[in-house]
Amino acid sequence: MAKIHWNVHSKIALGRTSKTAYGVAMAKLPHKKKKSAIMLGLGLDTDGHKRVTTGPNFALVGGTQETHEVMTEKAIKINEKLAAKGKRLEEVSREEFEDIAHSVGLQRNKSKPDET
Share of the chain above pLDDT 70, in %: 67
**How confident is the model over 1-54, as pLDDT tens digits?**
333 333 333 333 333 333 323 333 344 556 677 788 999 999 999 999 999 999
Top-confidence residue, 95 or 7:
95
Partners of 14 in beta bridges:
5
Q: Which of 7-11, 94-98, 109-113 has the lowest mean pLDDT?
A: 7-11
| Mean per-residue pLDDT over the chain, rounded | 77
Helices (H), 1-116: 18-28, 65-85, 94-103
Ranges of each domain in the chain: 1-32, 39-103
| Residue 95, φ and ψ in degrees, nearest 5 | -65, -45
C-alpha distances (whole Å) from 11 to each of 24, 26, 30, 32, 65 are 11, 12, 14, 20, 55
